[in-house]
Structure 1
């Protein structure tokens, strides 16, 4: 199993840096070659979760950070976005239905559609994880 993590400043430009970090780890991992479809999905999921971290947690406040973890093994990838506490107490990430003309509010819907599984980290941690399983050979 390979594990990599790094922290990013709580700035909008960090979302693209987090995507590049995840793609780079997946493409360079010695344990398993990530299919390009998995790399693409991981990049998009990371982008959505990091954007939500900046928008809904104190990670987006001046001087704050968020951390991205990637674990890769022969079964797939687990990504985590660790954040500062949420701005509103008891705010739990969940998929919501957005109006078709809204320009935001679809991030977790995309995560839900693309990830094998996703959810919040343990109660003593702030953040969200996702799993992407490798496609099984036929």
Structure 2
């Protein structure tokens, strides 16, 4: 198992840097048999979760940051985006139905469709996790 983590400044440019970090961590794990599709999914999910961190938590405020954790083993990938508290108290990440003409509001819908599993971190940690698994070779 390999674990990598790093913090990013709460800036829009950090979303692309987080995507590259996650893709690199998955590809560099020596025993990873992660298909290219899994790497692509992990990048997209990371992008959505980091964007939400900037929009909905204090990560997007001046001088703030968010941290991305990635754990890779031969069975799958677990990603986490750790953030400061949400801007609105008791805001819980959840899939909502976006109006067809809205430009935003579909991020967690995508995460829900692409991840094997996702959800919020433990009550004493702010953030969201995702899991991606793949079939094992016989």
- TM-score bucket (shorter structure): over 0.9
In structure 1, what is the equivalent of residue 18 of structure 2? 18
Q: Distance in 1 between matches of 2:35 and 2:136?
A: 11
Hey, what's the Cα distance between the residues in 2 that align with 1:74 and 1:104?
35
Structure 2 unpaired stretches of 5+: none
Q: Residues 45 and 111 of structure 1 are in contact (CA less than 8 Å); yes or no, is this contact kept in structure 2? A: yes
In 2, Cα distance between equivalents of 1:12 and 1:4: 21
With 125-134 and 31-40 compared, the bigger mean Cα shift is at 31-40
The two structures, once aligned, show a CA RMSD in angstroms of 1.0
After TM superposition, the runs of 4+ consecutive aligned structure 1 residues lying more than 4 A away are: none
TM-score by length of 1: 0.97
- What is the number of residues matched between the two proteins? 138
Question: Given the superposition, is the C-alpha separation of residues 101 and 136 from structure 1 closer, same or farther in structure 2, using an over 3 Å criterion?
Answer: farther
Measured in 1, the distance between the counterparts of 2:18 and 2:121 equals 19
- 5+ long unaligned stretches in structure 1: none
- In the other structure, the counterpart of 2:81 is 81
